A = this chain, B = another copy of it.
Amino acid sequence: MKLQGTSIIGSNRGQGSEAMGQSINPATNQTIDPSYITATEAEMQQAVSLAAEAFKTYRHTSGADKAVFLRTIADNIEAVIEELVARMPLETGLPEMRVRGEAGRTCGQLRLFAGLLEEGSWVDARIDFAQPERQPLPKVDTRSMLRALGPVAVFAASNFPLAFSTAGGDTASALAAGCPVIVKAHSSHSGTAEIVGLAVQQAVASCGLPEGVFSLLYGGGRTIGQALVQHPVIKAVGFTGSYAGGRALMDLAAARAEPIPVYAEMSAINPVVILPGAAAERGAQIAQGLHGSMTLGVGQFCTNPGLIFIHEDHAEVLATETAKLVATSASSAMLNSGICDAYCSGLDALESHAGVVRLAKADAGDGANQAVAALFQTDIKTFLSSEALTDEVFGPASIIVTYNDEADLLTAMQSLEGQLTASVHGTDAELATQGELVSVMEDRAGRLVFNGFPTGVEVCSSMVHGGPFPATSDGRSTSVGSMAIYRFTRAVCWQDCPQALLPDELKDGNPLAIKRSEV
């Protein structure tokens, strides 16, 4: 496939005007052809107009037809997997195995939503039949179901070039809900975006959908992205990235004449508590799991475990074993030089933080932008007196925090900002006594992990990949799993509506045979 370097505007390609530049191989700092071109303001407007036009019909496209569309996207992505394998590692420093794995997850997500649409009950259909004889007033017939919000802007994530980018979770859930999507590509993997974007564009065409259902915009800087979020046609925003970036979009969206929801997944340090019994029983095994979780994907996962709380009397085995593994970890290139620079600054800050000691640091291997795994240790008094220690260090670094009083542990957990996850390791007997700790974990996080590590997010119906602010901008929602579809819907009620005008989901006789609440 010859990449063109231009935006995808409905069924066409943009021309652009200003060069955004080539992708850069983070492991070599070499540029990769082609040069990408920033979408013009007029192209952005065109994508938005097409999306508005497409929404008129796509919002009422049947679940069956939307399912075919999502499955076609997945098939099309699989058909270009070798192109992705050739391109994505160059742009991201990620290995081929990761490309194949993440493509599998991406297609799995699309098919999960397809299955949800085919089954159809997700719309939460509710019928309260009329009661004409009711006293003192007759009761009207009311029926409700969820409908699509409107065109959605999706900002691709740096750290998931497939699963949270062009046809990733946000795009899949918005398309499933019935919302046209305009993706703002991430400049770290422009070529990967183009390959996937073309796969989606072809699916739109072959499924006979209006072209405005999908567009993909390239843009250097923030101009295009900000204009998208401020455009009156756009009704919701999906974003995965830094706190600063997410908060900027939230503030823009809140200041609009018509404020809109922003679903931004931002920062988390994902605390892990290791209780004494577990540490004594299987300290070395936990160390192995912890090391695997903290270094997975060069530590570039939002669920990376950044804080490990452990009783000081039981910390030694865990600290020693984890340090050994960390010290011998192979270094790898991070996604881009900006992320690597930020990681290095984060390490420097920990190195020079009073009361924090470095237990281990891996050696840097050959190549540019290498992240070396690192392990630090401090005590809970130091931790509680320093806000800096709760800052996310995005990369393969963790801090062990020792405590000797459970009350301090509870205070520390309660003092954390909102998290995507909170984990605890314990024997059955000791977990049974930790109701208060688990309650605090629930207060601070979206997902509670028992005897496991936070990386490795299942894409399923009960997954919550969200959590109180600032883990996500809107802790009422999830970005992974089938519940993500609810971010892009609102309920509509039909009162005394003639059968012919009702959606099939609400018609008498339940022609789609979905689960409904009927009273």
Instruction: Please give the residue numbers on chain A whose beta carbons come within 8 Å of chain B beta carbons, in ascending order.
Output: 56, 60, 126-128, 137, 139-140, 142-144, 147, 149, 250-251, 254-255, 258-259, 261, 417-418, 428, 431-432, 434-435, 438-439, 442, 445-452, 456, 458, 460-464, 466, 468-470, 473-478, 483, 489-498, 500-501, 517, 519
With A258-B470, A259-B473, A476-B490 known to touch, is A498 a contact of B428 (CB < 8 Å)?
yes
Cβ contact within 8 Å between A492 and B519 = no
Q: How far is the CA of A490 from the CA of B263 in the complex (A)?
A: 14
- Shortest distance between the CB of A142 and any CB in chain B (Å): 5
- Shortest distance between the CB of A262 and any CB in chain B (Å): 9
With A126-B461, A254-B254 known to touch, is A493 a contact of B428 (CB < 8 Å)?
no
Contacts of A428 in B (CB 8 A): 498
Cβ contact within 8 Å between A450 and B495 = yes
Cβ contact within 8 Å between B461 and A495 = no
- Shortest distance between the CB of A415 and any CB in chain B (Å): 12
Q: How far is the CA of A182 from the CA of B251 in the complex (A)?
A: 27
Cβ contact within 8 Å between B462 and A498 = no
With A142-B463, A259-B469 known to touch, is A490 a contact of B439 (CB < 8 Å)?
no
Cβ contact within 8 Å between A490 and B461 = no
- Shortest distance between the CB of A485 and any CB in chain B (Å): 12
Cβ contact within 8 Å between B490 and A452 = no
Q: How far is the CA of A26 from the CA of B368 in the complex (A)?
A: 76
Contacts of A498 in B (CB 8 A): 428, 431-432, 450
With A250-B259, A432-B501, A498-B432 known to touch, is A460 a contact of B128 (CB < 8 Å)?
yes
Cβ contact within 8 Å between A494 and B258 = no
Cβ contact within 8 Å between B497 and A448 = yes
Contacts of A491 in B (CB 8 A): 446, 464, 466, 476-478, 483
Contacts of A447 in B (CB 8 A): 142, 492-495
With A254-B254, A450-B496, A490-B475 known to touch, is A144 a contact of B442 (CB < 8 Å)?
no
Q: How far is the CA of A435 from the CA of B60 in the complex (A)?
A: 12
- Known contacts A432-B501, A460-B519, then 10 further A-B pairs from the complex at CB < 8 Å, ordered by chain A residue: A149-B476, A428-B498, A431-B498, A432-B498, A446-B492, A447-B492, A450-B495, A466-B490, A466-B491, A477-B491
Cβ contact within 8 Å between A446 and B490 = yes
- Shortest distance between the CB of A296 and any CB in chain B (Å): 12
Q: How far is the CA of A250 from the CA of B257 in the complex (A)?
A: 12
Q: How far is the CA of A418 from the CA of B232 in the complex (A)?
A: 13
Contacts of A497 in B (CB 8 A): 448, 450
Closest to A423 in B: B495
Contacts of A452 in B (CB 8 A): 140, 495-496
Q: Would you list the 8 A-B pairs with minimal beta carbon distance, nearest first?
A: A254-B254, A464-B493, A126-B462, A144-B462, A447-B493, A128-B460, A449-B495, A142-B462
Q: Which of B460, B475, B492, B517 contacts A461 (CB 8 A)?
A: B517
Q: How far is the CA of A428 from the CA of B149 in the complex (A)?
A: 29
